[in-house]
Homo-oligomer: A and B are copies of this chain.
């Protein structure tokens, strides 16, 4: 009982459960039971405890609780870059879902750097996160790390990107399908030579978008011209460079595999005095609220970002709760939104029958 003889409470550091117990003239057990609503505590003691808590302004130290209960009610989230406009909504979705379950989020940006990612993962393990949400950087998890993860049994949910050697629950958008629809749309309205600004081939969704492009070309009997294709890294600069090299080739249209690259691409077009959709058609990937307000209004494939976050968090929370079973994969449906950048208005002679595809004409919505 050395503890009860501690400092005369106050002065930084806040009151502890012992202070409350002393104040209420009960044991720490009683206080604990009251706080956690566990076990039956008599009316009078209950009141005394609550009064003491209020009087001392007591807040339980969640650090100590986490240590004792072996759970932090915190989940670690690693995204490539929170400043990439794709991820904020994903994170917000995860945050909301987590919050609803009493969990909170620590956020890290890996910059797609496997080394950084590894550091953060180790951090999460050391901080005893209850679970991890991960948009994997290129490359596989180091065996060393995988061993720890498995040993510790910390659940991980992969977001947006699979990772070959990591068997874990995964939530994806169907980028293969999305890319296929994007390019199909271009083909359907009459474009013949369709270029690609693709994502990095060393991440799964980069490959998927690439494959969807090729599949669509095949489906419409269009040639694959390797010189009309460029690989980017999802950032503005790479889209810009791709624009500089691809635009002079004067193909009919382009599919650009994400928004940031589209921004760079458009900048290049602007500098070269090329206009969209008059000089080239364009379908982008990933929609934003402002795309409909500025010219050219981008035809794009909307990805359910918020839902991606919530779904991932839900899966993770299930695992944290102890659910067992083989890894689950959820694939969310993208949705083609047709505006003008594709050249649809210019070529509406080839009327598009909806064909049961996930097509949305923006003028129809809202």
Contact = CB atoms under 8 A, between A and B. Distances in A.
Contact of A57 (B62, B84, B148, B296): B148
A351 interface: no
A106 B75 CA distance: 10
Contact of A106 (B70, B74, B84, B259): B74
A33 to B, nearest CB: 18
A82 interface: yes
A13 B83 contact: no
A139 interface: no
Interface in A102-127: 104-109, 122-123, 125-127
Contacts of A289: 236, 260, 263
A151 B57 contact: yes
Contacts of A46: none
Interface in A343-361: none
Interface stretch (A87-95, A172-180, A204-212, A213-221): A87-95
A63 B72 contact: yes
Nearest to A148: B57
Contacts of A104: 106, 108, 123, 127
Contact of A270 (B12, B92, B153, B293): B293
Nearest to A290: B263
A59 B95 contact: no
Nearest to A145: B57
Interface string A138-182: 000000100110011100000000000000000000000000000
A7 to B, nearest CB: 13
A292 interface: yes
B106 A14 contact: no
Chain A interface bracket (under 10, 10 to 19, 20 to 34, 35 or more): 35 or more
Contacts of A335: none
A80 to B, nearest CB: 11
Interface in A292-341: 292-296, 306
A8 to B, nearest CB: 14
Nearest to A294: B294
A109 B98 CA distance: 12
B70 A13 contact: yes
Contacts of A95: 82, 107-109
Given A61-B126, A95-B108, A148-B59, A294 B296 contact: yes
A352 B91 CA distance: 43
A85 B82 contact: no
Interface of A: 10, 12-14, 57, 59-64, 66-67, 70, 72, 74, 81-85, 87-89, 91-92, 95, 99, 104-109, 122-123, 125-128, 144, 147-148, 151-153, 236, 259-260, 263, 266-267, 270, 289-290, 292-296, 306
Given A14-B152, A63-B127, A85-B85, 6 more contacts: A12-B153, A62-B127, A74-B106, A82-B82, A104-B127, A270-B293
